[in-house]
Amino acid sequence: STCNDASGVTCRIQDVKGVGRARLFSQCGQDQYVAERFGLTERGGFFVEMGARDGVDDSNTKFFEEALGWRGLLVEARPAFAELLSLNRPRAHVLHGAIARHANCTFHDV
């Protein structure tokens, strides 16, 4: 089934093996796949998400934070999204920046 949170973001409510019914936020079920495939259903884990956008819409880590109490690092280069991350995911550490091989990068907002 689907759900809408207060901000209007659509999520799915599914049975996750080892967790039970939970809200899932990833675009194509990546959060559920990773949790079930790798048995990542314990509480208190740690995640890193690069290109985290607003931290909710299409998030691959919000399920782990919300359902399992994980903490983590959210990395986002775009200033507007980095601001939203701090509001939407106050328990996570937010890094306004990018992960790259070289220090001098040119960014293109598409």
For the chain, the domain total comes to 1
Residue 101 lies in a domain: no
The reported pLDDT for the residue numbered 12 is 75
Closest CA to 46 of 6, 74, 21, 78: 74
Residue 50 lies in a domain: yes
Average pLDDT score over residue span 11-22: 82
Residue 87 lies in a domain: yes
pLDDT tens-digit readout, 37-93: 998 988 999 999 999 999 999 999 999 999 999 999 999 999 999 999 999 999 999
Q: φ and ψ at 101, to 5 degrees? A: -70, -35
The whole-model pTM stands at: 0.82
Number of H helices, E strands in the chain: 3, 6
The reported pLDDT for the residue numbered 34 is 92
